[in-house]
Structure 1
């Protein structure tokens, strides 16, 4: 029998998936195994070989880019025949269904989609609307995040627990209800609504559901491990379990989005809940060397929540995986620079290189080392350290301590946090300043505002004068930064933003070192001047389009779906990877951290370097670091370890957390906070300078505070 032309270019496992009998098929597609090829060939097989009508195929994925690629590749295979018209993201498919049946979903025909900017604008409007009496400390971005998270987990406003652990949580829940009511009253929908309204519409309208079940006889889902509960329910509804054949393609070893509502059990759940599932494993890897894959396979096998597979490299050979133990974050950054230079001297390109880390706060020391070495880089999927909004907010106050006539810094400080000085008031003050030929600072001191604006202006003037007086005493940069945080109100503004809190502690911890490392200053310049010059030069470097070749800096989450010839994976330390939070949570959380490392390892094509510090300055404090527990799971003949000769005299053991901390805090302690008053410590999370303290205050509810910033007094 002659092989079918559509199958000629496929390996045996891919052929099995593409030509599988009509029915439910679960394709366990390992990293780099060609899952997109399988999906597009499956569609071409259905249309070209089985004469399936294109309109009876529903194909969904997660990004517009992936949808475009699949459409183009499928069209190429079909050679003139039309690809499925129902091919797109979950959101685009749901939008199409809602647009066709708005009344069935309780919408008007001209309903509007709120994009990210419009959603944030609406939340800002609701928070600032006086009739709702929300606290000024609630930030629109945080509100959007809370609402989106609830929707990702399929929780309607009425499902959100009214008895939340803090007043702030209750305020967010109230905002959610008002936001939802406002959207329904105006026939507005956001991205979360597209999914839930479509699900509810189909579940509540049997005739409509049957219509689409009769239409969609073949459903293909990409990245199935990433679907949330609402998306899973949509697939179940449309398939009817019995009527349509569903092909679910994904990799349970790459399920890393539980915080967005995805479940690592999606693949297993599909296998168990859908009848007569045909399981196909794609284990042949076209990306990485076998050396890298052996390490990845050993790591993945330690997880229990998986169906199981073993990746095999299509290409032989490959270098050993390096595991480099360095002294601290500076030597780690220096090792990164050395590895990059070695790669380029061997004929490699900067574009080949990615530096990966668990979270963005770890990029700072690497960024400075790259700048010092003249190596261009880009922070993928995020801002560079000194360009992050929370850091820029603090720096505005530091700049005003140096020069209160800095109008740009003053404008930012006036709005962050809000003090009743609105944009209109600022514009009026600016006009007055221009008319008189004075700075905004001078106009602010003499401003004739009313109500809250007047009080806010007075507060801001006092803060700037206070910081200016401190600056005259030539403090260490870290002291000035910390004082700016304490008096500005930024700690309270960002109290619900753990990322921002971590950036604050890191900024305090790095400020003095940044000043010391700035070599372009005059000898008589003090540390604060050096610090400000170094940060200004950092944010001013490497504008878009200036450099063609740049290495990529990114978190492990951002790296998913990408590949690089050389991967430098940093901070393989207990409390970082796995994260401190996962160590204090469930086994499921620890397994997700293991999958996150697996994703990082399988990004590497030719060379993989794992790095770990013996000591690291993190959250403003230098502490000894134990190697990640995952290192033992990776160990094998493919690993080539290198350690410094001047080793510290401590042993690798998992870092502790909880009550053994440097602040003398324990559960049940009564503490006083300068703003929130007296409260009881009800939970301790993390360790060292990353310790987070949950305090139930008598008059302010439960607050989560960074111990290093909160200045709690034991009572």
Structure 2
């Protein structure tokens, strides 16, 4: 439709200005056709396309032709990836690197993941079927507060000042909470920690913290590491449980830090990583080495006498040690 066309014709910026758009609209009005007809068949309407318009036309025509061949020769995800690559929309957001653009990138990633999941359930789905199904997931009417027995979905920021009998905090995984964009500085981590505290203290009676052991991201199944904020909670106040998804046909990689930690009793003061590996250290803990100085434990692998610690030191070195033979001191 014309509204959608005019929204994307110069997004990201490709040199199609307001005067060009106005000429296209005038030509469409005079000839009684749509703006896309003018762009797609310029010669038929004696309209000469600029190089930028020609490039836009070629991109759109390529995507239209691909969409017609779903699912015979292309999958839904192929079209989605082509749109992002050919239009360079995601790249333009990455180059912008603002809070708003990062939020839009997260929305794009969530949308792409939803396509891969839909494809997993409906391998022969067409684009029309996908669009029809997701449109049914959006409520057509506002409730205007008339429904009392319902789940309220909101961000942690929007939950400030509110309280609920039961609260679920989802996505308690490294890279999500704390967010990857905040994990490279102590100030960023501290801000995420404060935000997590806000979310936790919204619960009056019961609090559930959930995380995925595996996630599908752009068609790839990845292990997830449990959020460090879970590890910082007093173990005697927590009850740990694991649940298995119905997606048992996924090609899942080896177990992650979420794996069956509820199967072992957690002693007071032990971390999640300590329970799984038997290490006396935990990921993200600060330690001191007699030769290399102060560093941070980045990964813990193995169990028992074969526990290996990978440590990133402040001097720039990253080293892996067998814990049993390495004189490390924990730093509070």
TM-score range, shorter chain: 0.5 to 0.7
Distance in structure 2 (CA, Å) of the matches to 1:625 and 1:491: 24
The Cα of 1:544 is off from its aligned counterpart by 3.5
Rg (Cα) greater in structure:
1
2:52 to 440, 456, 474: 456
- Whether 2:157 is the aligned partner of 1:567: answer no
- Where does structure 1 differ by over 6 angstroms across 4 or more consecutive aligned residues? 447-450, 645-648, 655-658
Once superposed, what is the RMSD of the aligned Cα atoms?
3.4
Distance in structure 2 (CA, Å) of the matches to 1:409 and 1:645: 41
User: Please, what TM-score do these two structures have when normalized by structure 2?
Assistant: 0.62
For the 8 Å contact 1:512–1:531, the answer to whether it is kept is no
- Whether 2:70 is the aligned partner of 1:468: answer no
The Cα of 1:547 is off from its aligned counterpart by 6.2
Secondary structure class of the residue paired with 1:600? helix
Secondary structure class of the residue paired with 2:236? coil
How many pairs does the alignment contain? 244
Could you say which residue in structure 2 is the equivalent of 1:146? none
Question: Deviation per CA, 1:563-586, whole angstroms, max 9, x where unpaired?
Answer: 222211111122222233443322
Could you say which residue in structure 2 is the equivalent of 1:433? 28
The Cα of 1:472 is off from its aligned counterpart by 3.0
Distance in structure 1 (CA, Å) of the matches to 2:81 and 2:181: 25
1:482 to 63, 81, 84: 81
Could you say which residue in structure 1 is the equivalent of 2:107? 503
For the 8 Å contact 2:116–2:219, the answer to whether it is kept is no
For the 8 Å contact 1:478–1:509, the answer to whether it is kept is no
The Cα of 1:546 is off from its aligned counterpart by 6.1
For the 8 Å contact 2:213–2:224, the answer to whether it is kept is yes
Which structure ranks higher in relative contact order (CA pairs < 8 Å, sequence separation ≥ 6)?
A: 1
The Cα of 1:657 is off from its aligned counterpart by 8.3
User: Please, what TM-score do these two structures have when normalized by structure 1?
Assistant: 0.31
2:132 to 498, 512, 533: 533
Change (3 A) 1:576 1:512: closer
Secondary structure class of the residue paired with 2:171? coil
2:255 to 639, 650, 663: 650
The Cα of 1:615 is off from its aligned counterpart by 1.0
What 5-or-longer segments of structure 2 have no aligned partner? 258-272, 274-282, 285-296, 300-332
Distance in structure 1 (CA, Å) of the matches to 2:201 and 2:242: 24
What 5-or-longer segments of structure 1 have no aligned partner? 1-405, 659-715
2:228 to 629, 632, 641: 629
Secondary structure class of the residue paired with 2:165? strand
Change (3 A) 1:645 1:564: closer
- Whether 2:93 is the aligned partner of 1:494: answer yes
Change (3 A) 1:498 1:426: same
Question: Deviation per CA, 1:352-391, whole angstroms, max 9, x where unpaired?
Answer: xxxxxxxxxxxxxxxxxxxxxxxxxxxxxxxxxxxxxxxx
Structure with greater proportional helix content: 1
Distance in structure 2 (CA, Å) of the matches to 1:579 and 1:532: 30
For the 8 Å contact 1:476–1:528, the answer to whether it is kept is no
The Cα of 1:516 is off from its aligned counterpart by 5.4
